[in-house]
Amino acid sequence: MTDRQLGISPFGVAADGSPVQRVTIGRDGLCVSVLTWGAVLQGVWLEGAERNLTLGSDRLSDYEGAMRYHGSLIGPVVNRFTDARAPLGGRVLRFDANQDNRHCLHSGSAGTHLKVWRLAEATEDSLRLELDLPDGQGGFPGNRRVTAAYQVDGASLHLRVHVTTDQPTLVNFANHSYWNLDGTPTWAGHRLWVDAPYFLPTTPDFTPTGEMRPVEEGGMDFRKTRRIDPATNAFDTCFCLSDEPAPLREVLRLNGQSGIGMVVSTTEPGIQVYDGRNAFRPGKRAYEGLAIEAQGWPDAPNHAGFPSILLEPGGEYRQHTVWRFTRG
């Protein structure tokens, strides 16, 4: 299946001097590697497909640089805040304006993709990472405890995210892996199905306009499987699956021309699809992989009617996302 050895191995030292580990788990034909840097899903190997199905790197410096979003678990709030601010409890929170010096993207410098997580537990087929986020970091209130648990079950990979806080705060996590099931230079020729009746139109800055538009009106109707190609399909799009978190259900399918398929199930109310136009691995080209990010709707506090991402003390944020891989 792969020359990856199950277990824990060193993966370099972060710029702040913290050691980073790679944890490889798997059984029954599926093997995955996760880094303690950014809780990155670094590798996914399916028996019978000898290539990595997700876009990764063997160099920590790549993840600290241009590949900072590849495979990362991004929080405390993924995606964008318009004008780098959001209302909360009668006040306005302000965040890093790291997109065009105006908007906040992926929580700015406070993003969990830029941190070394603690490895709390590892077994043959599962691992658990933990991270403490201090009150006020990046403009986000509350001392927060974040747990990310990955588990391999047959040909499926489960991710469970859990967050608690001691103050009202905003929480919206997403795994930001890029996928190319064929090992080809781009994702051209893949086929996509998304069980979403609406999507969120965006401004030229890729922030939501606040409208929820039927997929039939925007060329975004993938409720019947369609072939996709960077020349004809542009994605930086949140598909609206529901208006609140829901029981785990199948929401997206991606199939390569090679016969490899991936089925995504999630509890989240939205799923962002990004075409990778500005995501470059060293020596590779644009559109190499398709990012698929189960999450709450972006910029939610700034739009009445969007599902809330508020987390109160005593409450719990829970996300469960599953990737199931198929052959033939």
pLDDT digits (tens, 9 = 90+) for 274-300: 999 999 999 999 999 999 999 999 999
pLDDT of residue 76: 98
Task: Tell me the pLDDT band of 2, cut-offs 50, 70 and 90.
Answer: very low
What are the CB-based long-range contacts (under 8 Å, 24+) for 204-207?
A: 205/80, 205/82, 205/99, 205/100, 205/102, 205/103, 206/80, 206/236, 207/80, 207/82, 207/103, 207/298, 207/299
CA–CA separation, 260 and 257 (whole Å): 7
Domain of 282, in residue numbers? 7-326
Is pLDDT above 90 for 234?
yes
Q: Is residue 303 part of a domain?
A: yes
Q: Mean pLDDT in the chain?
A: 96
Interstrand relation of 85-88 and 144-153 (parallel, antiparallel or unpaired): unpaired
Give the CATH number of the domain where residue 22 resides: 2.70.98.10
Task: Report yes or no on 70 lying in a domain.
Answer: yes
The stretch 7-16 carries a mean pLDDT of: 96
Q: What is the mean pLDDT of residues 177-182?
A: 98
Percentage of the chain lying above the pLDDT 70 cut: 99
Res. 156: pLDDT tops 50: yes
2 belongs to a structural domain: no
110, part of any domain:
yes
Output the pLDDT for position 4. Answer: 62
> Does residue 124 lie in a domain region?
yes
* pLDDT tens figures, 21-56: 999 999 879 999 999 999 999 999 999 888 999 999
The four Cα atoms 50, 53, 58, 62 give a dihedral, to 10 degrees, of: 160
201 domain residue, yes or no: yes
Question: What's the confidence (pLDDT) of residue 248?
Answer: 98
Range of weakest confidence among 3-12, 32-41, 141-150: 3-12
- The residue ranking higher by pLDDT, 225 or 48, is 225
Q: How far is CA 150 from the centre of its chain?
A: 13
Per-residue pLDDT at 306 exceeds 90: yes
Is 290 part of any domain? Answer: yes
pTM for the model stands at 0.97
Look at the chain and report how many structural domains it folds into: 1
In a domain, 1, yes or no: no
Distance in angstroms (rounded) separating the CA atoms of residues 317 and 328: 37
Using the predicted structure, report yes or no on whether residue 255 has a pLDDT greater than 50: yes
Residue 3, pLDDT score: 47
pLDDT at 161: 99
